[in-house]
Amino acid sequence: MSLNIDVVVVGCGAVGSTVALALARAGVQVAAVTRSGTDGCRWDMVLVEGLGFGELLVCGWTGAARLRPRLVVYAVKAYDLTSAVEDSLQAGWNPEAVVSLQNGLGSLELLSKTYGVDRAIGGVVYFGAVGVAPCRARLLGRGGLLLGCWARGGSCSFWSHQLAEALTAGGLPSSHVGDVEPYRWLKLAVNAAINPVTVLAWSRNKVILENPDAGKLAAQLAREVALVAWRRGVELPGDPVEEVFRVARATGDNCSSMLQDVARRGRSEVDYINGSVAREAWRLGLRAPFNEAMWRAVRLLERWLAGRRL
């Protein structure tokens, strides 16, 4: 028997639990799917400090075949997206729309290729959150979600609007921006600048404001992203360097997601952030030497800290 669920959030880490809880608070029939979940589905408490708590249906992939979501929100790390999509297809899901909430480039591209461009929504995450256990998180700093499409109209726009409204009603201020591409690139500039610099400085985001070396490095990284965006014909909706400093002020006490990943000796999304900027620059006949250097430096540190052979 299938369960009466409209939205499934895949991943119950910091971002996934926040989004799932906001939707539940807005009265949406939502379930979360986690790899760390037990077999089947069970009701579980989702707790997000700064947002609230609620009971949610939480399923492992073995229970996922009982769900028939109309909308799937992918809130896993960028490097786990391929297997999450494969698992969803195996579960027999055929959603009307899907959402990518990953940092960097490559994830919206993957969803568009798999489900079609008119079903793929790009989400740009502007809230800071830290996961403390599966389906338990702490919201840090302010900010919500920007949602938009590559395709005009159709299923993507309809669901992007609906989702933004429901998230806002549930306590996570969100909006539908129409064409998501300029916002995705502006956020890429922010992540490419703040994330690796906080890893190198082993400091919270405010290091960008407080340390002149960190600030200059971040500005240079953001300028390179702007150059690549410009060569791709993307007009950024704001000045990338100003945006980096604005976000650093708004999230000063956050540990960036990259620093959180590296500090827990896990894998970071640097390949999808600075790595994708460097690769996109080469593809366009440009160079992005600061992004390339950060990509390689963070990867070296990541591997060394994880105790893996260099």
Catalytic positions, written as ranges: 187
Instruction: Take residue 100 and report the two structure tokens written for it.
Output: 């990518």
Helix or strand (DSSP H, E) at 39: none
Choosing from 10, 147, 194, 228, the residue that interacts with ligand KPL (CB under 6 A) is 194
Q: Which is nearer to ligand KPL, 205 or 291 (CB)?
A: 205
Asked whether the beta carbons of 238 and 247 are under 8 A apart, the reply is: no
- Window of 4-12, 70-78, 163-171, 247-255 that interacts with ligand KPL by CB under 6 A: 247-255
Choosing from 256, 268, 274, 276, the residue that interacts with ligand KPL (CB under 6 A) is 256
* 254 part of the interface to ligand KPL, by CB under 6 A: yes
Angle of helix 181-201 relative to helix 289-305, nearest 10 degrees, comes to: 50
Instruction: Take residue 115 and report the two structure tokens written for it.
Output: 């489900």
* 195 part of the interface to ligand KPL, by CB under 6 A: yes
Residue 70 Cβ vs ligand KPL, minimum distance, rounded to whole Å: 28
- 180-202: b or e for each residue (b if 16 or more CB lie within 10 Å)? bbbbbbbbbbbbbbbbbbbbbbe
The pattern of x and - marking residues 115 through 134 that bind ligand KPL according to CB under 6 A reads -------------x------
Choosing from 22, 46, 214, 247, the residue that interacts with ligand KPL (CB under 6 A) is 247
Residue 118 Cβ vs ligand KPL, minimum distance, rounded to whole Å: 27
52-59 vs 30-33, strand pairing mode = parallel
Nearest to 75 by CA among 11, 161, 145: 11
Instruction: Take residue 61 and report the two structure tokens written for it.
Output: 């992939």
Which residues of this chain interact with ligand KPL, rule CB under 6 A? 103, 128, 190-191, 194-195, 205, 247, 251, 254, 256-257
